[in-house]
Structure 1
Amino acid sequence: MDYAAVGATHAPDLMQYPPENSIPAEESWRIGSGEDRFRSAGDALLSWTAQRAAGLQLSDVRPASGDTYTGVSFDAEGAPIAPNRNQVEQRYDAEGTPFVAPGMTLKVRGRVKGMRADAELRVISVTEERRRIGFVLGTVGGSVVRGEESFDIDWRDDTDEVWFTVRAFDAPAAMLYRLPGMVKRRRRELLSRYLRAISPLYATPI
């Protein structure tokens, strides 16, 4: 990883106390209700739909080799705990691209309103629980920013609603992105595209 605060998107106080020199972001959207919606959104998320529909091209997607990496788990306060030992059989989409899995590495390329979104990334953790599906991506290199994104689909047991949440923090790496507002503009556009990708309510062309 090319940043120190690995797993910080799981910290409940991310928005108040982001990692040093980084800009935090968080958005949640209701995307439906019921188990069917939860399952379909979860499958879409783990098959890279948010990234692809946001206009990003994936390449060099490599699952972790052997048992060398099992991912990281986090407690309710965002602190890392024992390694995640939840091993599941690797799945693939119709094009043969592996679903999200712990330790996986990949490259993405693309632009958001003229701003670069190229990066080398690693999947830090994956959650597949009865009412929550999600994963965390962190930068390894080759990006205009350094940092992390977490994506979660939650099926709330009190309301039956399904919510999609993205949390992130970005620290500028390239000189241009140190200009005021550049990192926030880039992040705001990415969040909007992720929402359109996962929510049928916003499924309009970009």
Structure 2
Amino acid sequence: MSTVRVGPMRRGGAVTADSGMNYAALGATSRPDVVPFPPSGFHAAEYRHRIGSGARRFDLAGRALMTWGALRHAGFQVDEVRAEPVSQSPRGAGPLFLEDGTPWITPGMTARLASDDPAAVTGRVKVLTTLDEPGRIGYVFGTMTGSTEVSERFLLVEHGEDDAVHVILRSLWEAPSSRLGRLARAADARQRKLDERIVRALHPSFSVG
């Protein structure tokens, strides 16, 4: 079955270092070796969840992913979405939109996240990199100054040679002080639970409750 593009697709791009971020290891989650070798003071993890098979499932999941669907389905409020102006775009392309006006995630885009979950990030995030290749689409986003969390996530939808469609999430977050003991372990557990919820959020049967 041929792939039906249901949203605007483009080659990936990246933004340059930005002083508005609240951490220095920008783009670290785009590298698989960040999991065994995270930057000093950070923890990292990777999750992989199958959400179906076939080109149609890949296209629908890719469209949802690139319009903030994984985060919204996981219980986040996503608002104040702002695309980077054409004059500042690394590829000079500016913002992209679906037919109904929904903004498509592009490098430099920012948004405000909010959630009732105390473990979830609240505050502005910025898209650092996007990826659009045959069978792979996704983006890296990180937290900005003023956010309640110091973290970065790489979210990817992948259509494999076996026709399976997976969501992959690679995350990096500031490690709680080891002096906090039990509280530090609890904070890590909450972070991992949140990431597991995000990576499952594009499955057709997923429910936040």
The secondary structure found in structure 2 opposite 1:145 is coil
SS at match of 2:36: coil
Relative distance call for 1:131 and 1:116 in structure 2 (3 A) is closer
Aligned length: 186
> What residue is the counterpart of 1:192 in the other structure?
196
| Inter-partner Cα distance in structure 2 for 1:2 and 1:20 | 15
Tell me if 1:121 matches 2:107: no
> Residue in 1 aligned with 2:150?
146
| Aligned CA distance change for structure 1 residues 122 and 173 (closer, same or farther; 3 Å) | farther
Distance 1:86 1:125 in 2: 15
- Is this contact kept in 2: 1:25–1:169, CA < 8 A? yes
Cα distance in 2 for residues equivalent to 1:196 and 1:13: 23
Give the conservation status (yes or no) of the 8 Å contact 2:135–2:159.
yes
Which of 36, 42, 62 aligns to 1:22? It is 42
> Tell me, what secondary structure is at the counterpart of 1:13?
helix
Decide whether aligned partners of structure 1 residues 142 and 123 sit closer, same or farther in structure 2, where only a CA change above 3 A counts: same
2:159 equivalent among 128, 150, 155 = 155
The aligned counterpart of 1:6 is 26
CA shift at 1:10, angstroms?
1.4
Taking the aligned partners of 1:186 and 1:10, their CA distance within structure 2 comes to 23
What is the aligned-residue identity percentage?
33
The separation in 1 between residues aligned to 2:115 and 2:73, in whole angstroms, is 11
Segments of structure 1 that go 5 or more residues without pairing to the other structure are 71-84
1:63-119 CA deviation, whole Å, 9 max, x = no partner?
A: 00113132xxxxxxxxxxxxxx4948611475x44121110011111132x334202
User: For the residues of structure 2 that align with 1:186 and 1:132, how far apart are their CA atoms?
Assistant: 28
Alpha-carbon distance change, 98 to 13 in structure 1, aligned in 2, over 3 angstroms = same
1:57 aligns to 2:73 (yes or no): no
- Could you tell me whether the CA contact under 8 Å between 1:145 and 1:172 is conserved in 2? no
TM-score normalized by the length of structure 1: 0.80
Correspondence 1:68-147 to 2 at 5 A: 68-70=88-90, 85=91, 87=93, 90-92=96-98, 94=100, 96-112=101-117, 114-147=118-151
Amino acid at match of 2:113: V
TM-score normalised over the length of structure 2: 0.79
Residue 90 of structure 1 aligns to which amino acid in structure 2? L
**Residues 1:38 and 1:23: Cα distance change in structure 2 (over 3 Å):** same
Q: Which whole-Å CA distance do the structure 2 matches of 1:55 and 1:11 have between them?
A: 27
* Partner Cα separation in structure 1 for residue 120 and residue 203 of structure 2: 24
Distance in 2 (alpha carbons) for counterparts of 1:89 and 1:106: 14
Runs of at least 4 residues of structure 1 off by over 3 A?
85-89
